[in-house]
Copies of this chain bind each other. A is one copy, B any other.
Amino acid sequence: MVNKGKTIGIGLMGLGVIGSGVAKVLLEKKDILARQAGSPLVLKKILEKDLSKHGSLGIEPQLFTTRFADIVNHPEIDIVIELIGGERPAADYIREALIAGKPVVTANKEVMAKHGYELLTLAQQHQVALRFEASVGGGIPLIAPFQEDLVANDISAIYGIINGTANYILTQMEQRGLDFSVALRQAQDLGYAERDPTKDIEGLDAAYKIAILAALAFRTKVSLQDIYCEGISRLEARDFRYARELEYAIKLLAIAKASNQTIEVRVHPVFIPEDFLLAKVNGVYNAVQVEGDLVGKVIFYGQGAGPLPTSSAVIADVVAVAQGISYGISNFPKLTFDVGKTIKPMSEVETRYYFRMNVADRPGVLAQISKILGDHLISISSVIQKETDPIAQTAEIVIMTHPAKEQAVREALREMEFLPVVREINNFVRVEA
């Protein structure tokens, strides 16, 4: 596809918060983008139900359409940008655009997590680009590093703070001693959390993103069903107090690790040592730590969401595709996926653990707990007896373990729950160190 030295037509699907940001940048920066891209980038059509949206952006009303056919069949549209979000109809539109030979740029993490392998294969077959830098980490370069900069590495681990909403809530809980529900409500009032915050606080959004990163890093297919996913709603203010006392921070981490032929991919709250750089990533910021055999440890940090940072990534992808068209080259990243690696079930994963429990305040309690842990080969690294309640005659104890298998821990917890001296197991959180 060689451009005739004229302009490169853009079809934009979705004019929500992100789409409006991208449209604004395309219009306001058209001169510099034309130089970068080798040809002017011109908005040809916008697929959007709400036709009233053109006003604020000063876009001519005749550019708007409500029919996908007006995008995919438009002879002057050279690049399709998908910013509708959600799985349907976005996935279908991307598929049809690729089949029609139109390169696609998307910010859609759900589509890429669920259909990325199929769509990238399709793009390869049709020799067109499918770029998705904006699907993870807003404007932070995270896709390109795996596809290009780090290709010489065997990646052993990824640790990502990749949900800004959850990280904002955790930061508020940590810094201001708030309980989860209060921190969530404040985040909602400030617009950092949606009215239905489930995807963010229960880890699903992070699971989409780590599915994408792990697939690229380990060059294998990763299914969402294989990702263990646990959110932050069980955390309480006292967990943060104890974490601080033990010199840890609590973060919602998306973790992907590879060893030989198995990989593990999981999202859950984690205690991380407070002197780790990731422990200092606060508020809505994101950060992803990658470990490779050559590069060692690298960290990418920045704003993981918002219309401007996301536009930064979307437009960079558009410019890359446009350069290919302008100069008559096909510079789309080549896929090299291995056949699937085995995903380790969560029960086989080994980490350290933090337990917080309410027990009877009397002698011999710890002996009973330690015995159960010992029976499951879980060894204790430290125990702290916290506040006692003289009226209820209970005490709170906090236990940190050495590395143990998840399954053993689950079984031990179940047995401990049946101990008459254990009033309640309040929380358990995995620990990375």
Residues of A within 8 A of B (CB): 25, 29, 33, 35-36, 38, 133, 138-141, 144-145, 148-153, 277, 280-281, 292-303, 306, 308-309, 311-313, 315-316, 319-320, 323, 327, 329-331, 334, 336
A319 with B145: CB separation less than 8 A = no
Question: DSSP class of A's interface residues: helix, strand, loop or mixed?
Answer: mixed
A35 touches B336 (CB 8 A): yes
Query: By the criterion CB–CB under 8 Å, are A148 and B327 in contact?
Result: no
- Complex: how many Å from CA A151 to CA B223? 33
For this chain, the copies found in one complex come to 2
Instruction: Give the distance in Å from the alpha carbon of A299 to the alpha carbon of B285 in the complex.
Output: 11
Instruction: Out of B138, B329, B336, name the residue touching A330 (CB < 8 Å).
Output: B329
List residues of chain B with CB within 8 A of the CB of A35.
336
B residues near A300, Cβ cutoff 8 Å? 298-301
The answer on a CB contact under 8 Å between B301 and A299 is yes
Question: A133: which B residues are within 8 A, CB to CB?
Answer: 149
Instruction: A327 to B331: give the CA distance in the assembly, Å.
Output: 9
Contact in complex: A303, B296 (CB < 8 Å): yes
Q: List chain B residues, Cβ under 8 A from A319.
A: 148, 151-152
Cβ of B141 and Cβ of A141 under 8 Å apart?
Answer: yes
A331→B326 CA distance, assembly (Å): 12
Q: How far is the CB of A314 from chain B (nearest CB, A)?
A: 8
Distance in angstroms from A32 CB to nearest chain B CB is 8
Q: A145-B141, A152-B29 are in contact. Are A302 and B312 (CB under 8 A)?
A: no
List B contacts of A323 (CB < 8 A): 334
The answer to whether A139 and B280 touch across the interface, beta carbons within 8 angstroms, is no
The answer to whether A302 and B303 have CB atoms under 8 Å apart is no
Establish whether residues A311 and B152, one from each chain, have CB atoms under 8 Å apart when the complex forms.
yes
Q: Which residues of B contact A296 (CB under 8 A)?
A: 139, 302-303, 306, 308-309
B139→A298 contact, CB < 8 A: yes
> B299 and A295: CB pair below 8 A?
no
Asked if B151 and A36 make an inter-chain contact with CB atoms under 8 angstroms apart, the answer reads yes
Given contacts A33-B152, A277-B280, A331-B329, contact A295 B301 (CB under 8 A): no
Whether B152 lies near A312 (C-beta < 8 A) is: yes
> Using Cβ atoms and an 8 Å threshold, which residues of chain B touch A281?
277
Identify which of B38, B302, B313 contacts A299 (C-beta below 8 A): B302
Q: Which residue of chain B has its CB nearest to the CB of A34?
A: B336
Which 10 A-B residue pairs are closest in the complex by CB-CB distance?
Answer: A139-B295, A152-B315, A298-B302, A294-B312, A141-B149, A299-B301, A295-B312, A331-B331, A329-B329, A294-B308
A298-B140 in contact given A152-B319, A315-B151, A319-B151 (Cβ < 8 Å): yes
In the bound complex, residues from chain B placing their C-beta under 8 Å from that of A311 are 152, 294
Since A25-B152, A141-B298, A297-B302 are in contact, a sample of 13 more A-B pairs with Cβ atoms closer than 8 Å, ordered by chain A residue number, is: A36-B151, A38-B334, A139-B294, A139-B298, A150-B312, A152-B311, A277-B277, A280-B280, A292-B312, A295-B312, A298-B301, A298-B302, A299-B302
